[in-house]
Amino acid sequence: MNIREEIIEMEKALLSPEVRGSVEKLQHFLSEDFREVGASGAYFGFNEVLQSITNQTDWAAFPDLWEFRQLSNDVAQVMYRVKIIRGQARGVAYSRRTSIWRKEADTWKLVYHQGTAVGPSESKP
């Protein structure tokens, strides 16, 4: 598996209920200096994400339109759009997302993630 495929697979795993529901699994993917700017504009650090993300249930994410850029030997960026279907009549949300991954020792870790809310028609490239 090449670096592009590896990072995209890890990004997809981070959208899965299995990983999102487990602090241990999240720690496997996230760098200790991880930062996120959510689609709402809220800013989160490593500990806040570990506490809040495991409480997000009853939704499914459908990513597509993947773009990958290797910024250096140890840093890569992935961009994509995602459709999130929320349960209990909370509706559908769309966003464009970008993540920065960094090689730490022998493992790729997510160091930065940002989601920008868009409408259904705006989610297309």
Residue 123 lies in a domain: no
**Rounded alpha-carbon distances, angstroms, from residue 46 to 4, 28, 102:** 24, 12, 15
pLDDT tens, residue by residue, 19-43: 988 889 999 999 999 999 988 888 9
pLDDT at position 59? 82
Residue 125 lies in a domain: no
CATH number at residue 19: 3.10.450.50
Residue 103 lies in a domain: yes
pLDDT tens, residue by residue, 73-82: 999 999 999 9
Query: Minimal CA–CA distance to 75: which of 47, 44, 99?
Result: 99
Number of domains in the chain: 1
pLDDT, the chain, mean:
89
Query: Minimal CA–CA distance to 25: which of 45, 53, 5, 3?
Result: 53
pLDDT tens, residue by residue, 94-110: 999 999 999 999 999 99
pLDDT tens, residue by residue, 12-24: 999 998 898 888 9
Residue 32 lies in a domain: yes
> Cβ neighbours of residue 124 under 8 Å, at least 6 residues apart?
65, 81
The residue range of the domain holding 62 is 3-118
- pLDDT band at residue 1, thresholds of 50, 70 and 90? confident
Residue 8 lies in a domain: yes
Residue 124 lies in a domain: no
Q: What are phi and psi of 23, to 5 degrees?
A: -60, -40
pLDDT at position 113? 97
- pLDDT over 90 (residue 124): no
Residue 28 lies in a domain: yes
- pLDDT band at residue 54, thresholds of 50, 70 and 90? low
| pTM of the entire predicted model | 0.89
